[in-house]
Structure 1
Amino acid sequence: MNLRIKKIVLALFISSSILISVSCEKEFDTVIDVQKPSYQVVSVAPKDSVIFNVEDSSLVIKIEFTQSSLVNSVIAEIADPANKNFLNGNLTLFDNGKAENGDQTANDKLFSNKIFMKSNDLNGNYDVKFYVNENSGQSKLAAWSSFKYRNGQSNFSPIITDALVEPDTVVVTDTIAILTSLRVSDENGLNDIKEVYFIVYRPDGSTSGNKVFLFDDGNLLQNGDQTAGDGLYSRIISVNQTNAKGTYRFEFKAVDRGGLQSNIINYLVLIQ
């Protein structure tokens, strides 16, 4: 047993439980909040596909209200495809008629501001939440939208190597912890990796089709991952007496934010 596996086993004795969870990607559709008595949203933008333009990389974020709306100020919060704050803060929107803010007419209830996209920004869906500061002083979420960004760079498929299931032969007399791991690389950078997972096929060839996600988050206790961001994705799973005996096939894959899939690695695991 190598040093890495020893550390994992020690962590498992410390941890109170071994869990397998399946995460879901959040999806946002444009939602306009018309329930507030002091304002009514007419439209938000952008909400379509955006392609990087080397001559003008500006992108106008805007929200329009009815003329009767009572709005003091508006800020936007933008999350990138990795669900991180894209601007490391909030974007103030203006209704001042200044071109530098992407606003055409002052005091027309259309609040705007520009951001500047870069060729190395992540491909994928960006989520925008609009918060209104009402004349009463309250700040409320008014609407949100999403747009799909393409940075104009050639997209390369991720590559997976060094798949590991340890141990890969198990005599089950009690609940047994199994470490799974996989190394992932991508010419577009690790930030371009959307998901890394495996699907389990039972001894009879059947499968639920559920993805078991691996993580590169440095969470040793929960996922068995030692170092965040090093391209080695890991996950701890468990088997017990209820698992059917025989040879299981673990099918490993990775997918990038442009939807390109990696090569496939199949790993056989014997449960006795």
Structure 2
Amino acid sequence: MNFRIKSFISILIISSVFISCEKEFDTVIDTQKPSYQVVSVSPKDSVLFNVNDSSLVISIQFQQNSIVNSVFAEMIDPSGKNFLGGSLQLYDNGKSENGDLTANDKIFSNKIFMRSNSLNGNYNLKFYASDNSSSQKLVAWSTFKYRNGQSNVAPEISNALVDPDTLVVTDTVAILTSLVVNDQNGMNDIKEVFFIVYRPDGTTSGNKVFLFDDGNLLQDGDQTAGDGIYSRIISVNQNNVKGTYRFEFQAIDRGGLTSNIINYPVLIQ
């Protein structure tokens, strides 16, 4: 048992409301009758990066009799982060720099620029509006799929570790698992890193045990966040069937490509 697992054991001892669907936008959640009605939002389908024009117009259209004072949007990328770093004000001013074609037509727009290294996958847009009450409310939610135009390369995994990999179990024992992951499209392209446990008789539940690169030593056994080493602490006890288990490690990227597989034997006596 190496120092890393010993350190962990020592510490251990011491111590959507909305769901995107085929509609263009979702139902208004305010129970009071609003002074506006959403007609459509954009984008809502697929967006492909264009090296000659990487701009993307985000817009929302209200009925003509709607009373709307201000509108802004938030965009969440496939990793769950705010892509814009905050909110984006939308305008109905007819200015091309905002991507708005006609002023005062109840279509509020603004323009952002995507990048060739922006994550592939589904982006969620949340639209907020206020009327004369000046109270900002979530009025619609849209999802679009983005493709950055780069060739997607499958991730690679190496240096799988299960420590200890041979143990006599008379009580609950902590086991450190870790794996090195590389992706030519960038580490943000990694969607899942996991292993599946196969029992001594070859059967499995098929459940994925996810590994993390979050720097959470106490919970996951991961020492440094973002270093490409994914880790997870699991435990076994005297109730586990004795014999040789097989841990099948793999990674999946956001484009759906799978890595090579590493099988690691673990003997429980």
RMSD (Å), alpha carbons? 1.6
Query: Which stretch shifts more, 32-41 or 209-218?
Result: 32-41
How far off its partner does 1:226 sit?
0.2
State the AA in 1 paired with 2:12: L
Say which of 195, 209, 212 aligns to 1:212: 209
Question: 2:27: which partner in 1?
Answer: 33
Establish whether residue 153 from structure 1 lines up as the match of residue 150 from structure 2.
yes
Question: 1:6: which partner in 2?
Answer: 6
**Aligned 8 A contact 1:175 1:241 in 2:** yes
How far off its partner does 1:100 sit?
1.2
- 4+ residue segments displaced more than 4 Å: none
Question: 2:126: which partner in 1?
Answer: 129
**Aligned 8 A contact 2:20 2:26 in 1:** no
**Aligned 8 A contact 1:195 1:254 in 2:** yes
**Aligned 8 A contact 1:164 1:181 in 2:** yes
**Aligned 8 A contact 1:32 1:43 in 2:** no
* In 1, Cα distance between equivalents of 2:14 and 2:39: 54
**Aligned 8 A contact 1:32 1:41 in 2:** no
Say which of 41, 45, 49 aligns to 1:44: 41
Count the aligned residue pairs: 262
**Aligned 8 A contact 2:217 2:223 in 1:** yes
**Aligned 8 A contact 1:197 1:212 in 2:** yes
Q: Structure 1, residues 8-33: CA drift from partner, whole Å, max 9, x if none?
A: 22222234xxxxxxxxxx97445422
5+ unaligned residues in a row in structure 1: which ranges? 16-25
Q: Structure 1, residues 146-201: CA drift from partner, whole Å, max 9, x if none?
A: 11111111111100000011111122211111111000011111111111001111
Secondary structure of the corresponding residue to residue 126 of structure 2: strand
Superposed, 1:21-100 pairs within 5 Å as 28-29=20-21, 31-34=25-28, 36=30, 37-38=33-34, 39-100=36-97
Question: 2:140: which partner in 1?
Answer: 143
**Aligned 8 A contact 1:177 1:238 in 2:** yes
Secondary structure of the corresponding residue to residue 12 of structure 1: helix
Question: 2:183: which partner in 1?
Answer: 186
**Aligned 8 A contact 1:33 1:40 in 2:** no
TM-score for both structures, normalised by structure 1: 0.92
Question: 1:23: which partner in 2?
Answer: none
Secondary structure of the corresponding residue to residue 32 of structure 1: coil
Question: 1:249: which partner in 2?
Answer: 246
**Aligned 8 A contact 1:224 1:236 in 2:** yes
* In 1, Cα distance between equivalents of 2:173 and 2:25: 46
* In 2, Cα distance between equivalents of 1:111 and 1:265: 51
* In 2, Cα distance between equivalents of 1:270 and 1:97: 69
* In 2, Cα distance between equivalents of 1:210 and 1:190: 24
State the AA in 1 paired with 2:27: D
* In 2, Cα distance between equivalents of 1:251 and 1:259: 18
How far off its partner does 1:34 sit?
4.0
**Aligned 8 A contact 1:132 1:142 in 2:** yes
| Identity level (%) | 72
State the AA in 2 paired with 1:187: Q
